[in-house]
Amino acid sequence: MTESQISYFAEKVFVHHWPKDSPKWSDSLQKKLDDSINKNSNLKKIVVNSENILIENLLINNLKKIGVTVPFFKNECTMIFEGQFENVFGHIHITTKSNEFLEIFNQLMSWKNNYQN
């Protein structure tokens, strides 16, 4: 892992259409996302680079409205953001319950602060 790259595994990832006034996704794209990410219970590899995020084979760029949190009473870290992939925009939630969730949270906060500057 380089300074500008964070790599970890997430238990839950959910990608959905956003903003609501953007063009509707095709049924084939929705099925692809459901099968590979949204409804797939396997761990998903997340790679956060200086300007994009890779979720398995889904490359997301043009990142906006990035939030990183550790929810109360939970041993997990969640990142929520908007981004562009395959010429569409979406809203993405990534949750990791790794034993290193606090370390991941700190790395993501540092990345977010550098990214938004």
The distance of Cα 46 from the centroid of its chain, to the nearest Å, equals 7
Question: According to the model, what pLDDT value does residue 21 have?
Answer: 87
Domain 6-115 has CATH 2.30.30: no
Count of CB atoms situated within 10 Å of the CB of 58:
19
Indicate the domain borders of the chain: 6-115
Per-residue pLDDT of the chain (117 residues), as tens digits, is 445 799 999 999 999 998 888 888 999 999 999 999 999 999 999 999 989 999 999 999 999 999 999 999 999 999 999 999 988 999 999 999 999 999 999 999 999 998 876
pLDDT at 3: 54
Degrees, nearest 5: CA angle 68-73-76: 40
Residues paired with 89 in a beta bridge: 84
Q: What pLDDT score was predicted for residue 115?
A: 84
> What's the rounded Cα separation, in Å, for the pair 10 and 85?
19
Q: Is 52 exposed, middle or buried (0-12, 13-18, 19+ CB in 10 A)?
A: middle
